[in-house]
Structures are given as structure tokens and as C-alpha cells.
Amino acid sequence: MSETNLFESKLELVRSHIRSFPDFPKKGIVFRDVCPILKNPAALAALTDLFEEHVRTSYQQVDLIVGLDARGFLFGPLLAQRLGLGFVLIRKKGKLPGSTTSVTFDLEYGQAEVEIQDDVVDPGQKVLIIDDLLATGGTLCAAWELLKQQQAEVLGCLVVIELLDLQGKNKVKPLPVFSLTHY
């Protein structure tokens, strides 16, 4: 099988394990659920393979993978382990011990706050941010801001799903965003 066919085969396996739930969490929204990927070892391996291939071909040096609360915690450690890298958490406010830095950001329905421990990223470290979904871009933008405050060099973002109509990619420009699937 050619590399292109293998890539497409893996991508189709990932896509086939994303479920859609209309009108959740409220009417008019279609929720894209990645949980079936986690239940299927082949789909999870394919997703991890696709992210790993992208990182290895697109970035000469990466020091850390940074995962966003909560689904970035599911995919990020697997990718970091494959790449031989460390993994760092960005969590909702009040969930991390020790000294932290936080950022407040706007959501479609209010505000949220995320934080990072102050001693987990060294100045100048090259990092990639990973999450399951890019919608409006608020969470990725907040993570980018936190990492800039840590003096990290954010190389880009990785997401399983990008909701194109919400144009979240515009919020994190000029950071490159690699999305496996688009809706």
C-alpha cells in the first residue's frame, strides 16, 4: 500500500469512529464525540500514527507536547510517549497544585479560566499544543497566551476535529493548526 493510501486508510478509520449527536449540549449544536476512537485500539493507534507522522515531518525539534483539559489529556500523552517527549497539562482553574499562572478567556456562552504550573515549561522550549476540537479558538488562544507567559516557543497546534464554520483557526493565527478532520 502506498504512503498516501496508508494515510487515507488511517484517516478513514479515525473518521469512522467520530459520532455526531445533534442538539447537544443545546438545540442547534452538533456535538462531535471522539470517545469511540478511545474504545477502538486500531482507531486510537491510527490517530496517534497520523499525529506522529505529521510532527516528525513538519517539525525538526519539539521539546514538549502540551495537552488541553480534558481531551487533550487523552491524545497528548500517547503522542508524547511515541515521540520520546514530555507532556504538560493546561487545566481548568483550581485543578493544579503549586504556583500557577492563569488566563481568562471568552467562550460562546460566558468565560472560562485555564492555568499551567509555573515550573513545567522552561523558557525557550519548543512546544506543540494538542486538543480534540477546534471550535471558536478560545481555548487554544488562551493556551498560547499561557505558554508565551512561560516564554515557550509555541510551534503549532494539533486537533482531531476542526469546525470550519466557527473559524477558530483565525483566532490563533499565525500559529499553524493541523486538523485530522473537518466539519
Active site residues: 71, 108
Which residue is listed with cell 486508510?
9
Determine the residue type at 51: F
> Residue 158: helix, strand or coil by DSSP?
strand
Determine the residue type at 69: D
Q: Are 72 and 88 in contact (CB under 8 A)?
A: no
Q: Are 156 and 177 in contact (CB under 8 A)?
A: yes
Q: What is the helix (H) or strand (E) element at residue 144, kind and residue range?
A: helix 138-149
Mapping DSSP onto H, E and C, the string for 78-131 reads HHHHHHCCEEEEEEECCCCCCCEEEEEEEECCEEEEEEEECCCCCCCCEEEEEE
